[in-house]
Chains A and B, each alone.
Chain A
């Protein structure tokens, strides 16, 4: 075997672009030292990464860092989708960070650099072909967030949130790493494709208790990252303590990262007979507990945080169909993964719109506050209030939020195609519980009552809100675009 490898640099281009953005931001902050320029470099880099990811993905699948048939870097259509999505989410979060950065108290250079680092992790994550690359990418995605959560000077809540997040996340990573090590001990392989093939060829491996322990550790460690119940307790405290745009990033990009990692290991590497039941239980617990607790929330960001816990349950639900034999045919599996990806895309879009609208309705640099502080907000800012209501209704899965409706439909359909009618009913009943609090939130916006004097929202925030809402409306009328992207 030759020790000299040819490296396909084109396949790596999106990762170069993302990492280059981080470096450029650091340089711009050092050399020019003007907040606007630093921000513009970060935004431009994120946009460039999105374009690069899409362009490279438009060609055929590219592989590099291969040992024999197993490759550590697999840039296929889904990797392109994930990379582009991460870049666009980062761009959106940068746009809604405007008021926070201008309010002072947050160092602009560090803020943009850390976001760009996180973006790099996300881009690599989508293309990871082995467990180690996957875990390192996921950590590159999360590590900067520990700092971002606590970056505001003199914010005790932020520091507490950061520590909670840090401790929980490190424990989760350790669990995943241990699982990966045990898997290596059992099979001698770490490449996702190879693991899957090995388990297929030698089913006797599945009878080893060590295999079950290893698989469980990997899945549970990743469940922390998507904040699935019972590994969710960090999420509400962290979201609420973090600055609003960082909370938005956590509940969209960071969650997307966890989902992508889970899909990669369950889709390619791990045996569905073991992961299926675990995921089904996780999904049911996650959506039910998330929805029930969200009912009682009075703080805006906590409500969104718990609702996003519940949404993680809907994302995992299609994978729960793997628990049954009917859900493990190739067709049903492909459908389940496509449904999970499609739901995630719809969800991050609506969640980003909701956070952007909350940022627009709150004073510059403020946290989410309580629901009462948004009382009557839609009467003062009809368009922004309308966009927020549309996003909330979409998250609840009802018209006129057609994007969210089609997301729910996709999940229910894939569950019934996989023969998991009971899980579809659980999803359906949860959607009803979910409506109760989304409706309460939306109704508060039009409730009569005095609120703070209207301030004009920042232009970048409005732009981000307008673009996400427009895209959400568009994919609401043409959901096939998302379904096609997700099914590739």
Chain B
């Protein structure tokens, strides 16, 4: 059963992509793709079943997968097809499957203008899904690297094929930046493998047997690799271009789950495999994370383009997530995990809404948008909801990650971490400031000519794509144990060996 679930989570979208590519007829192919994405969500949710405790003999291992599958693949490169899922990865797996389904469904209603057919776009979305899910499920370092790489070119093709006016440059920048990250990951992975003689994450977690020098080198390489993907300031400059130029579905996947590969990798691989390196680098990581929060918010305050503003807000939000990881406390890492999920849900929603506004008004410039609530009250209301959720209002999903990242930094104590906590809190206030500015510019005031043309209607397909995200933002905000309940066990086990 375990093997069946894990395999089907990866095999369904992989085979689905082939079937979609082979299906004649564009609309039929898109429908097939959506059906496959929906089917994939089933085993992804079902992965929650299984053995959540540890009933074996001997000491508790740091990673206790609910489901596992371990097959040999390339012994010469220490590569095993080792998959597993636990409380750290499961919420992200479900989020990925859900967002892909929503994106595929959205393309049923509207295919972005571009060089290719909607069929190709759906097939590429499914391939991206395989890569992201594989990254979250891999329990072998080399396999993790392999899936990490799988995402790169399909995402490049989505941006370059269906993006905005400046798509080629943005896509190339995305590909080169993230490849730079993943080649560092490759070197980091084999620094660990050459020293430890195994690539098994279950064995490696806790840094067993690695010398201090190796751990420092490995952590530096791995953290740099994940910092590019997350992205951590100052390695973030690919993100605004890519998010702005990508088609709506591309932005949703990018912001919603692709960035999470970086933060997930940081927790599971970098901190897990080289804890000594993590302790050594934590202050640097914390300072950079807070710099990202402040810089991200300040840049957002000065942005005058809707999608670009939301893109830059990701830099700030991911800063909170990284701050949580950098504290290396249970609170901090849990904050990072829930922040990850919340950001995926809320920013996914924000990009959907920004895309809807841009599609209707044919412009994203804040100067040309105003008075949206006069002409399209429902759209304006949803945008307001998403913005308020993103700025971290208590009761909505964004609150927990940001608040508890700050709390964790305070708990960590000492002059450095207290200062960082204060600065992060200031950054949180700035976040509120720029989102309120966004709402004032876009929804309030007299309708601008561009907004005046917009009708009040919202398509059923759009509401269907947005409703799950709205509900999740509420649910995670009101009942954070949806995520934290599953994550607390694995996080504590991880921190036991890291300390």
Task: Give A contacts to B, CB under 8 Å.
Answer: 393, 398-400, 405-406, 408-410, 412-413, 416-417, 421, 424-425, 428-429, 431-432, 435-436, 439-440, 443, 446-448, 478-480, 483-484, 487
Interface string of B133-152 (1 = CB under 8 A from A): 00000000010001001101
Q: Identify the stretch in B61-69, B186-194, B435-443 within 8 Å (CB) of chain A at 4 or more residues.
A: B186-194
**Could you say which residues of chain B place their CB within 8 Å of the CB of A421?**
187, 191, 217
**Could you say which residues of chain A place their CB within 8 Å of the CB of B190?**
409, 412-413, 416, 424
Choose one: B116, B153, B187; the contact of A424 (CB below 8 Å): B187
B168 interface residue (CB < 8 Å to A): yes
Cα A389 to Cα B29 in complex, Å, equals: 23
B226 interface residue (CB < 8 Å to A): no
B76 interface residue (CB < 8 Å to A): yes
Contact B149 A480 (CB under 8 A): no
With A398-B152, A400-B153, A480-B76 known, 17 other A-B pairs at CB within 8 A are A398-B149, A400-B150, A406-B77, A408-B186, A410-B77, A413-B193, A413-B194, A416-B191, A424-B190, A428-B184, A432-B176, A432-B180, A432-B183, A439-B172, A446-B161, A479-B77, A483-B76
Choose one: A435, A443, A479, A487; the contact of B74 (CB below 8 Å): A479
Q: List 10 A-B contacts (CB under 8 A).
A: A398-B149, A413-B194, A421-B191, A428-B184, A428-B186, A435-B175, A435-B179, A439-B175, A443-B160, A484-B76
**Could you say which residues of chain A place their CB within 8 Å of the CB of B152?**
398-399
B75 interface residue (CB < 8 Å to A): yes
CB distance from B129 to the nearest CB of A (A): 14
Which residue of chain B has the shortest Cβ distance to A415 in the bound complex? B190
Contact A483 B74 (CB under 8 A): yes
Which residue of chain B has the shortest Cβ distance to A447 in the bound complex? B115
Which residue of chain A has the shortest Cβ distance to B148 in the bound complex? A399
Choose one: B161, B172, B186; the contact of A409 (CB below 8 Å): B186
B156 interface residue (CB < 8 Å to A): yes
Contact B187 A406 (CB under 8 A): no
**Could you say which residues of chain B place their CB within 8 Å of the CB of A439?**
156, 172, 175
Contact A436 B193 (CB under 8 A): no
CB distance from A427 to the nearest CB of B (A): 8
Contact A398 B179 (CB under 8 A): yes
Which residue of chain A has the shortest Cβ distance to B181 in the bound complex? A432
Cα A399 to Cα B135 in complex, Å, equals: 14
Cα A425 to Cα B179 in complex, Å, equals: 13
CB distance from A429 to the nearest CB of B (A): 7
**Could you say which residues of chain B place their CB within 8 Å of the CB of A487?**
76
Contact B176 A436 (CB under 8 A): yes
Contact B74 A480 (CB under 8 A): yes
**Could you say which residues of chain B place their CB within 8 Å of the CB of A417?**
194
B residues 163-179 near A (Cβ < 8 Å) are: 168, 172, 175-176, 179
Cα A200 to Cα B32 in complex, Å, equals: 67
Which residue of chain A has the shortest Cβ distance to B151 in the bound complex? A399
Cα A443 to Cα B168 in complex, Å, equals: 9
CB distance from A446 to the nearest CB of B (A): 7
The listed residue with most A CB atoms (<10 A of its CB), out of B76, B115, B179, is: B76
CB distance from B229 to the nearest CB of A (A): 14
Contact A412 B186 (CB under 8 A): yes
Contact A431 B183 (CB under 8 A): yes
Q: Closest 8 CB pairs between A and B?
A: A428-B183, A483-B76, A416-B194, A416-B190, A399-B150, A432-B180, A480-B74, A413-B190
Contact A393 B75 (CB under 8 A): no
**Could you say which residues of chain B place their CB within 8 Å of the CB of A409?**
77, 142, 186, 190
Cα A399 to Cα B142 in complex, Å, equals: 14
Contact A429 B191 (CB under 8 A): no
CB distance from A434 to the nearest CB of B (A): 9
Cα A48 to Cα B131 in complex, Å, equals: 42
CB distance from B150 to the nearest CB of A (A): 5
The listed residue with most A CB atoms (<10 A of its CB), out of B146, B172, B187, B193, is: B187
CB distance from B109 to the nearest CB of A (A): 25
**Taking A480-B74, A483-B74 as contacts, is the C-beta distance between A435 and B187 under 8 angstroms?**
no
Contact B172 A436 (CB under 8 A): yes
Cα A410 to Cα B75 in complex, Å, equals: 12
**Could you say which residues of chain A place their CB within 8 Å of the CB of B77?**
406, 409-410, 413, 479, 483
**Could you say which residues of chain A place their CB within 8 Å of the CB of B160?**
443
CB distance from A438 to the nearest CB of B (A): 10
**Could you say which residues of chain B place their CB within 8 Å of the CB of A478?**
74
Cα A428 to Cα B179 in complex, Å, equals: 9
CB distance from A152 to the nearest CB of B (A): 37
Cα A436 to Cα B168 in complex, Å, equals: 12
Interface string of B114-136 (1 = CB under 8 A from A): 01100000000000000100000
Choose one: A406, A428, A448; the contact of B115 (CB below 8 Å): A448
**Could you say which residues of chain B place their CB within 8 Å of the CB of A440?**
172
Contact B187 A432 (CB under 8 A): no
Cα A467 to Cα B150 in complex, Å, equals: 24
**Taking A413-B194, A428-B183, A431-B179 as contacts, is the C-beta distance between A405 and B76 under 8 angstroms?**
no
**Could you say which residues of chain B place their CB within 8 Å of the CB of A446?**
115-116, 161
CB distance from B279 to the nearest CB of A (A): 22
B residues 46-88 near A (Cβ < 8 Å) are: 73-77
**Could you say which residues of chain B place their CB within 8 Å of the CB of A480?**
73-76
Cα A425 to Cα B224 in complex, Å, equals: 13
**Could you say which residues of chain B place their CB within 8 Å of the CB of A413?**
77, 190, 193-194
Interface string of B267-309 (1 = CB under 8 A from A): 0000000000000000000000000000000000000000000
Cα A399 to Cα B131 in complex, Å, equals: 10
Cα A428 to Cα B161 in complex, Å, equals: 27
**Could you say which residues of chain B place their CB within 8 Å of the CB of A429?**
180, 183
**Could you say which residues of chain B place their CB within 8 Å of the CB of A399?**
131, 146, 149-150, 152-153
**Could you say which residues of chain A place their CB within 8 Å of the CB of B73?**
480
**Could you say which residues of chain A place their CB within 8 Å of the CB of B74?**
406, 478-480, 483
CB distance from B82 to the nearest CB of A (A): 16
Which residue of chain A has the shortest Cβ distance to B217 in the bound complex? A421
CB distance from B145 to the nearest CB of A (A): 8
**Could you say which residues of chain B place their CB within 8 Å of the CB of A483?**
74, 76-77
CB distance from B382 to the nearest CB of A (A): 36
CB distance from A334 to the nearest CB of B (A): 12
Choose one: B75, B153, B172, B180; the contact of A398 (CB below 8 Å): B153
CB distance from B158 to the nearest CB of A (A): 13
CB distance from B197 to the nearest CB of A (A): 10
**Could you say which residues of chain A place their CB within 8 Å of the CB of B149?**
398-399, 405
Which residue of chain A has the shortest Cβ distance to B75 in the bound complex? A480
The listed residue with most B CB atoms (<10 A of its CB), out of A409, A425, A431, A447, is: A409
